[in-house]
Amino acid sequence: MQDSRLVTTYTFWNTYRNCPRACAWRYLHELVPQGRSTNLRFGSLIHRCLEHWHTQQDIGAVQEIIDQACAHRMQYPEVLQAWHLASAMMLGYAMRYREETFTITDTERLFSGPIINPASGKPSRTFLLAGKIDGLVEVDGEVFLLEHKTTGCLDGEYLEKLWMDFQLLLYAYALERYDGIRVAGAIYNILVKAKLRQGQGETALEFQQRAAELAAKNKSGTTTATRKLPEADADFQARLRVKYADPEMFHREVLYFSRDQLAEVEAELWLLTQQFLEARKHDWFIRNTAYCFHYGTPCAYYPLCRANGAEHVIDNLYERRPPHEELTATRDDAPVF
Ligand code: SF4
């Protein structure tokens, strides 16, 4: 018989905590904004490459994954940029971690189990918790979660926020509860995205304007300036490789979990389920308007909330996609961009 319990994930509960209305848009109405951000696609590609690297240690095969994911790079400049960045990043990573300090025991591990009532110890009849863990590793006989992250800015604030990361605590809790694996902590495997951009050269008009300005500054009224040409792919790749030879482009942060933290996760998760049930009973998911412009950018559902859920806004700006796409396996040769 098919399990009728509602599948939830870290992203589900994190969205609910940030704004219950956003959770309803995504998980009850199954709406997502049309298109997918380049950042998300890039993150998916690097996850795919890292999984392959950690299991096969074959940088040639990793490059093939990047080539296939960015098959349309000659047509789209943003795809070419991603191809350059991923190629140099993965090569730099392979050089940086030629010798690993841990033993990988599992990658892309799926888990699933009922959410537990901490007071009675009984499983929920309504909710399941599921997820996918980037990796499990062993260090000196202890098990750690391995979590891959790409970021454009690695600073003290970024590392500080990891201490409050609900995701890996949730995963550690789930592994202990459902699979009986005691997790000592987490290793955040952070890869920094280089900000370098390929030189685009000048258009004929831009060159004419620059040449005219230079000539005007010369007593002779002429200039020897030549038009700047676009940077060749090989030259840009060489610049990126130099950048990724810098050890600071990679970082590993180790955090340890206490048993109290995991008990708190169970209690908090249960409370969230009770709030969700109450919201669903009243068919009213509160809008956390303090979150609409979090980090200075509008929430993906802002046009929808502002239009009070109007159908024409849904038709024009959103598409319906089943939830929890992150739990389904993707082929290594599937296009990403
Ligand atoms: S726009 Fe604001 S109220 Fe609407 S879902 Fe986003 S955060 Fe919530």
Nearest to 66 by CA among 336, 326, 328: 336
User: Model confidence over 267-323: pLDDT tens digits?
Assistant: 999 999 999 999 999 999 999 999 999 988 899 999 999 999 999 999 999 999 999
On the question of pLDDT at 337 being above 70, the answer is no
Instruction: Look over the chain and give the mean of its residue pLDDT values, rounded to a whole number.
Output: 93
Helix (H) or strand (E) holding 171: helix 166-179
- DSSP for 174-214 reads HHHHHH-PPEEEEEEEEEEPP---------HHHHHHHHHHH
The CATH number of the domain covering residues in 6-197+232-327: 3.90.320
**What residues does ligand 1 touch, defined as CB less than 6 Å away?**
19, 21-22, 25, 287-289, 291-292, 299, 301-302, 305
pTM score: 0.86
CA distance 202 to 285: 52
Half-sphere exposure of 15 (CA within 13 A, CB side): 20
- DSSP for 275-334 reads HHHHHHHHT-----GGGTTGGGS--TTHHHHHTTT-HHHHHHHEEE--S-GGGS---TTS
On the question of pLDDT at 330 being above 80, the answer is no
In the prediction, which pLDDT does 229 show? Answer: 87
Mean pLDDT of 207-217: 90
Give the lowest-confidence range in 125-139, 171-185, 200-214, 293-307. Answer: 200-214
User: 28, 292, 313: which to mutate for ligand 1, most atoms within 8 A of CB?
Assistant: 292
Nearest CA to ligand 1 atom 5: 22
| Residue 49 bridge partners (DSSP) | none
